[in-house]
Structure 1
Amino acid sequence: MLKPTISVLVLRHVANCLDLVGCDPEPLLAGFHLRRNDLDNAKGVMPLEDFLGFLELAAVKAANPYLGLQAGRLGALNSLGALGFLFLSAPSLRAAFTGFDSYLATIQDAVRNRFSAQGGIATFEYMITDQTLQSRRQDAEFSIALMHNMCRNYVGGEFELIEVRFEHACQGDERVYREFFRCGVFFDQDTNSFSFEDHFLGCKSPVIDPELYPIVEEHLRRRVADSARRARSHKDIIRVLETSPLDRTPTLDEVAASMGVSVATLSRRLKAQGMRWRDLVNDRRMHAAARLLRQSQRDVAEIALSVGFAESASFVRRFGRHFGTTPQRFRKAGAENPPRA
């Protein structure tokens, strides 16, 4: 199965931030079989798993538990390549979010990125959908802080948030987060997001001439079309599964209908890849449960519901068959032996 990837340009920004805090990124890059000049390749990608691991390890090496937040705050115009230019050249902040929402997949796989506005409140949401990728705290904080910084660059210093939410439990001083975002920050949530008053959506950017926007958008549209032509059917199936809510997994019939094929055809394609639908669904739920047990403080009953089980007993039985231990023991083992980056 193809592993999700991310553009190396994002890692280039993180490496530059490490330089600024006096931590040499070269030894860290070497540990992931990368050199500094590899990060200048606009078409280069790396496994998303390696990117997440690099961020977690960099925070340890720099002795800075808030590295993701600070790297996000230092986000520059080219931190996201063409996608960053698209955002900052948009004719309005609403168009900036809409464009970002449409084209994030050009630099990163396995991500759910949503923008919505209703009831006077606008919300940006970011979440990695591949549940096998467990160590994601620094990435979540980096991504939310970077988008917040992009908004401040677009609107100006008057841009203010109403609230910020993170999937993971608070690790560190909660006051750091409140002072950083200048609003309430909530942990152990269903997603990573920030919200603000929607009157900012009409603002126009003083940073880049909006005439650049359609040019950059056409470039990204071609990249999306090229990617779609190269996509393999099993990758499409995985994408449908990953972008669905954990507590509402689509049936194979629904997936087949969304792809315009029969259930029999879809089953044959899965079988040819050595996969079964029910195994894919179960693996996703179990990996999500394992991550929540390790990285959040939610109780077992709440986790069971969040990953699609109607009651705790069936969840505990399924978890035991999958991991060979109970959820409680799994959580305790993780607390006593935290995973290394």
Structure 2
Amino acid sequence: MSRPSAQTIFAESFFRVNAQLFAPFLAEAGLDERILHTPDVEIPAANYVELWEILGRKVDASIGLRIGIQTVSTALGAYGQTIRSAPTMLLALRCMSHFAVVFAHAIRVDFEIDGGQVILSYQCTDPTITRRRQDSEFTIGFFLSLLREITENPRLTPQRADFEHERPTDWSLHRDVLACPLHFKQTDNRLYFPIELLEMPVRTADPRLFQALEPFLEQQRQIRAPVGDLLAELGRHIASSLSSGGASLEMVAQSMGLGPRTLQRRLAEHQVEFRLLVEDVRRSLAEAYVAKDHYSLTEVALLLGYAECSSFSRAFRRWTQVSPQQYRLQAKANLA
């Protein structure tokens, strides 16, 4: 299902728990039904985020937040189990950030203490994934659900919540669930809590389980983090190189400050095929650019390194089975 070049997220039991919701839309997102039954299967991150966007269009415009606030820690496997078993809130927050890559590539989870506040932030770091509202809202909802779970305080409420996307037309669920000032079009997705959060006991703490799980997660982090870091950096450099006439291995290596042989060796170590990665980036950017009205199709072709619009149109039809014009019309209809 997933290719070695893909940044991935583990299915864990999350997909099994939500099988009835996800099953009708898996094929449209390019996913296999195995993810509903196999916890250790890896899912391409771009397909995972696209599945959420499909659900947002066809099921519920606020589906991400709605499911996030209902999701419990154990749905995310060892990552969630380690957080809920942490002896202190500070350790729980550190695990949320430090071990996020074990559960999913292409994301950044941070927490910081700023004055009298604890700030928990999330962002998808893959530059080719531009439509990601549902993923962002799911994660913010899950973070709040997780903190309520481990403190056994269902009334725990943030002081403020930020989202990187524009304010939805209907944001009543956001107001009801988060019950705090909401800010949209921000640089990150964030939850702000008073500093007293750090003093709250973790009611689900299990020090012996934590001691057993933490070394395992650290081992997995050391395996997955280099792959995720390399792919994220490559994605950024490929995206910026395309508009300069294409993204050859030599060109991308130079922009990364590496020799072509060094980059090729690093790719081989992680079983990444450069040609397929360029194709993935080009397709993701093409879909994002065409879906929006910011660029003409000729401009999109040039941004993606095509000398002629006709060459771009043929490639786009091969990727999506529709012309760029049809895809743009469909995207407008979905937003209507």
Fold-level match, TM-score > 0.5? yes
Identity in percent:
22
2:332 aligns to what? 338
Alignment deviations for residues 48-96 of structure 1 (CA, whole Å, 9 cap, x no partner): 122112222223332x111111101111231211111111111112211
1:311 aligns to what? none
Residue from 152, 160, 163 that aligns with 1:163: 160
What is the RMSD computed on CA atoms of the aligned residues? 4.1
> Structure 1 residues 227 and 26 mapped into 2: Cα distance closer, same or farther (>3 Å)?
closer
2:23 aligns to what? 26
Q: What's the secondary structure of 1:338's corresponding residue?
A: helix
TM-score by length of 1: 0.69
Residue from 55, 58, 61 that aligns with 1:61: 58
2:9 aligns to what? 6
Letter in 1 for 2:57: V
Structure-1 separation of matches of 2:236 and 2:95 = 19
What is the correspondence of 1:30-109 to structure 2 with a 5 Å cutoff?
Answer: 30-31=27-28, 32-35=30-33, 38-62=35-59, 64-109=60-105
Cα pair 2:71 2:145 within 8 Å, conserved: yes
Letter in 2 for 1:5: T
Give aligned pairs, total.
289
Residue from 198, 201, 208 that aligns with 1:201: 198
The alpha carbon displacement at 1:112 in A equals: 1.5
Structure-2 separation of matches of 1:240 and 1:82 = 27
Letter in 1 for 2:5: L
2:117 aligns to what? 121
> Structure 1 residues 242 and 89 mapped into 2: Cα distance closer, same or farther (>3 Å)?
farther
Letter in 1 for 2:84: L
Alignment deviations for residues 236-281 of structure 1 (CA, whole Å, 9 cap, x no partner): 444346799x9xxxx989965xxxxx667646658998979xxx9x
Q: What's the secondary structure of 1:78's corresponding residue?
A: helix
> Structure 1 residues 267 and 85 mapped into 2: Cα distance closer, same or farther (>3 Å)?
closer
In structure 1, the gaps of 5 or more residues are 257-261, 301-317
Residue from 182, 185, 204 that aligns with 1:185: 182
Structure-2 separation of matches of 1:206 and 1:269 = 47
1:304 aligns to what? none
Structure-1 separation of matches of 2:169 and 2:130 = 19
> Structure 1 residues 264 and 322 mapped into 2: Cα distance closer, same or farther (>3 Å)?
closer
